[in-house]
Amino acid sequence: MSRLPRLTVPGYPHHVIQRGNNRQPIVVDTDDRQRMLDELREHAQAQGVAVHAYVLMDNHLHLLVTPDAADSLPLMMQGVGRSYVRWFNRRHGRSGTLWEGRYRSTLIEAERYLLACMAYIDLNPVRAGMVAAAADYRWSSHAHLVGLRHDPLVTPHPLYWQLGNTPFARERAYADLVAAGLAPTTRQAIAGAAHSGWALGSDAFIADLQRRTERRVVKAAAGRPVGKAE
């Protein structure tokens, strides 16, 4: 059975994952990593996509974004894919695809899962055993969100601003949230939704979201026809 189209709804946060083909590297060195972030910033701004959090790993990329229009996110990813892959192939003397098929994405309920998803993204290098703490990893949004450096790619979500009345209070609150880690059930829910493409949120959120799109937003109940999840 063919895959369902990606679910993209303007104004909602989307968790996006793009992997390298056969889990191969999508970045090799510092120049590659900086070029990827530059491409993301350029195309996010051009297409009206706010990037709230990101992490660039060796063979995959996580983004938490809110698109302004239905085609904003697809156009951003298409633009990054084309320009970065062309540059990467030329620089490294290779040809062909770099990506493992199309990117994966899901919508999340901001009030319930947005801050947790940001922490999930920031903690990716820690889970991978690359660093001891999120602040030790250079290629993510974490340093910006905890006040260690300015990152022009990042546009904090309104829920981040509600963490405190001053920059220091917000940065401290977010640093504490990430340091506390995520409950296993929350981590599994975020990961499962991102890989399946089904929306993540409360029953009320899902019902409201379903009214805004013809595409099914959650897996159908047992006994009913369902599309194959990614």
Check residues 88 and 215 and name the one with the higher pLDDT: 88
pLDDT at residue 93, as a whole number: 95
Q: Which of 153, 140, 137 is nearest to 80 (CA)?
A: 153
Q: Which of 228, 219, 222, 208 is nearest to 9 (CA)?
A: 208
Confidence of residue 4 (pLDDT cuts 50, 70, 90): low
3-state DSSP assignment of residue 1:
coil
Name residue, tokens 């491409």. Answer: 39
**Burial (CB count within 10 angstroms: exposed 0-12, middle 13-18, buried 19+), residue 124:** buried
Q: Cβ distance 84 to 92 under 8 Å?
A: no
> In CATH, what number is assigned to the domain containing residue 175?
3.30.70.1290
pLDDT tens-digit series, residues 71-124: 999 999 999 999 999 999 999 999 989 999 889 999 999 999 999 999 999 999
pLDDT at residue 101, as a whole number: 86
- Residues counted in the chain: 230
Q: How far apart are CA 6 and CA 73, in angstroms?
A: 11
pLDDT at residue 228, as a whole number: 33
The Cα angle at residue 103 between residues 161 and 223, in degrees rounded to 5: 100
pLDDT at residue 91, as a whole number: 96
**Is 4 contained in some domain?**
no
CB neighbours of residue 88 within 10 Å: 18
**Is 157 contained in some domain?**
yes
Number of domains in the chain: 1
**Is 206 contained in some domain?**
no
**Is 179 contained in some domain?**
yes
CB-based contacts of 223, cutoff 8 Å, min separation 6:
none
- Phi and psi at 228, nearest 5°, equal -75, 125
pLDDT tens-digit series, residues 146-170: 999 999 999 999 999 999 999 999 9
**Is 46 contained in some domain?**
yes
What DSSP string describes 117-152? Answer: HHHHHHTHHHHTTS-SSGGG-SSBSHHHHTTSS--T
pLDDT tens-digit series, residues 8-49: 899 999 999 999 999 899 999 999 999 999 999 999 999 999
Domain that holds residue 191: 14-201
**Is 35 contained in some domain?**
yes
pLDDT at residue 226, as a whole number: 41
Alpha helices in the chain (DSSP H): 30-47, 72-92, 110-122, 124-127, 142-145, 158-161, 167-180, 184-196, 203-210
Q: How far apart are CA 6 and CA 104, in angstroms?
A: 8
Mean of the pLDDT values across residues 177-181? Answer: 96
